[in-house]
Structure 1
Amino acid sequence: MQLGVGTRASVTLKPVRYEFANPARDEWDDNWLVISGDVSAADTKWHFAVPCLMTFEAKQISTWLRSVADGGIPVSVIGDAGVVASLEFTEPNLAFSVGSYQDGSISVRVHFALESRPVGQSCDGRDQFWVEVAATAADLDLSAAEWDKALLAFPDR
């Protein structure tokens, strides 16, 4: 899944493997996915690969992207404590929020925490660091389809 390709900031995420290769008959341990990310922002670029999404959580991303494309997710306001993401997961490494809807362009924030945040990056007292990417509804629908296709290799175990 690629967001913001060809713009000032971009985020590429993909599931690369289960955290544990051999199922142990434990719903939680069996379904952790390692997510690889490449992020480029105005002042930094970084890569990460961490087990941070459950298979069932990963499926929520494409649904969320399609809802954003349809204008169905409200804009998250930045307050004193930062941004409250509209899509969060068990592990806080990744989260998502909408920055704005304007003239056919949608601003999507991808939030990074813990091991997925750039090394040494200050987060100004927030728990998360985010990158804001510009996209169109068509871009988000395409990203959702790419994400769904990548997840086919990782069914719930």
Structure 2
Amino acid sequence: MSEIPDVLLEATNGSLRLRLVRYEFPEIKNDKWDSNWLVVFGEGHIDGRRWRFESPCLSTVEVGALVDWLHKVANGEEVDEIGFMEPHLEFDLIGRSHVRVSFALEAAPPWVDGYDLDNRIGFDILIGPQLANAAADLRSQFDAFPVRGMDE
């Protein structure tokens, strides 16, 4: 059995390696909210400085939406803005050529005020095959964490 790859987004001045680690509450299987929070591990790099974070900052539903969003952006399709309930990570389409990846709260590097959501730190990546690869790798990870408890 092959190992599921981390999501990797790289630019000249920054990078993000992302991995879905586990459900925050694995024992809760029938609640549409608590059943679906995922603990996310990230390793960031901006301007030569590195940091790591591990936080329950995305839900399964949000990960599925991010997979679709990255895929569409990589293919040049029109997309709406994407946002998450917990604003730790942000992905913004910048024109037709770049995606900005930015960090706040527990995902922010320790040398910045992660609680200043108006002054996020991040980096821009070119739109291209890298985004398609990131979408495919995130899809592989997402398949291991199905959406649970949505019948309630």
Q: Secondary structure at the match of 1:27?
A: coil
Query: If the length of structure 2 is used for normalisation, what is the TM-score?
Result: 0.81
Name the counterpart of 1:59. 64
Q: Secondary structure at the match of 1:21?
A: coil
Query: If the length of structure 1 is used for normalisation, what is the TM-score?
Result: 0.79
Name the counterpart of 1:30. 35
* Residue ranges of structure 1 left out of the alignment (5+ in a row): 75-84
Q: Give distance in 2, aligned partners of 1:119 and 1:13.
A: 18
Matches within 5 A, 1:121-132: 121-122=112-113, 126-132=117-123
Per the TM alignment, residue 59 of structure 1 is displaced from its structure 2 partner at its CA by 0.7
Name the counterpart of 1:140. 131
Q: Give distance in 2, aligned partners of 1:119 and 1:14.
A: 20
Which residue of the other structure, out of 50, 67, 92, is the alignment partner of 2:87? 92
Higher relative contact order (CA 8 A, sep 6+): 2
After superposition, the Cα gap between the structure-2 partners of 1:94 and 1:122, relative to the gap in structure 1 and judged at 3 Å, is same
Name the counterpart of 2:73. 68
Runs of 4+ with deviation above 3 angstroms: 125-128
Residue type matched to 2:9 in 1?
L
Per the TM alignment, residue 97 of structure 1 is displaced from its structure 2 partner at its CA by 0.4
Name the counterpart of 2:99. 108
Per the TM alignment, residue 126 of structure 1 is displaced from its structure 2 partner at its CA by 4.1
For each residue in 1:24-50, what CA deviation from the matched residue of structure 2 results, as whole angstroms up to 9, or x when unmatched? 521111110011111101053111010
Per the TM alignment, residue 153 of structure 1 is displaced from its structure 2 partner at its CA by 0.9
Per the TM alignment, residue 136 of structure 1 is displaced from its structure 2 partner at its CA by 4.2
1:4 aligns with 2:16: no
